[in-house]
Structures are given as structure tokens and as C-alpha cells.
Amino acid sequence: MTRRNGGDVTVESLTALGATHVFGIPGQHALGLFDAIRRSDLTFVSSRVENNSVFAADGYARTTGQVGVVFCSTGPGALTALGALQEAYAACVPILMITSQIPRDGLGGRGIPA
């Protein structure tokens, strides 16, 4: 039996809810999500900057009527996406952004123990 992680559960949930496309940029703290996408039927659309991923998901949502799903990396990646998220919010476009998090031991500038 293969061990499942949070990425698997997230991708399985999105698939069960009818998602077909996910936008974003792979990041080291979200590798579980991207490994799970690779094993799924979801189509991943990458961009070079996080806000462009949200803008793409916004356009996708406006043209298809589906929720635009975005996977975003921790910290600066999530912050870079805020302007595009504000645009989607102001225009009432349904966007779901999922960000990763570093392990609890790494929070607060303590770094990740060896």
C-alpha cells in the first residue's frame, strides 16, 4: 500500500469536486502537491511569476465558469499573488489558492533542524 500525504488528499479532493486544471509554480515546500498532480488526471499550467498564475486561473474561471485553482509556494510566492487575488475578488471571480507551509520546526526563523 502506498503511503498518502497531504498533497494526495488535496489533489483527490479537488478531483472529486470537479477540478480539471491547476495553475501555479512548483516550489520546494509544495513538492507533495506537485508529485500528487503528476499522479492524477489534473492538468497543471505553470507560469514564471505567481501573480501570472492567478491571472491565468482568473481567466480560466471567467471563461469556463469553474473555480480557478492555484497552487502557490510559501512566503514570497503567496505574497506576490496578492495583487491578482485582489483583482479576482473585486470582480467576483471564484479562485481557490492553496499554499504550502514549511515544517513547524522551521517557523519563526529558527530554521529546519538537521
> Residue 113: what pLDDT?
54
Higher-confidence residue of 5 and 86: namely: 86
Higher-confidence residue of 49 and 109: namely: 49
Beta strands in 1-114 (DSSP E): 21-24, 43-46, 68-72, 95-99
Q: What is the mean pLDDT of residues 41-47?
A: 94
Give the pLDDT confidence of 79-114 residue by residue, as tens digits.
Answer: 899 999 999 999 999 999 998 776 666 666 655 555
- Contact predicate 45/22, CB 8 Å: yes
Which uninterrupted H or E stretch holds 83? Answer: helix 82-90
> Residue 96: what pLDDT?
96
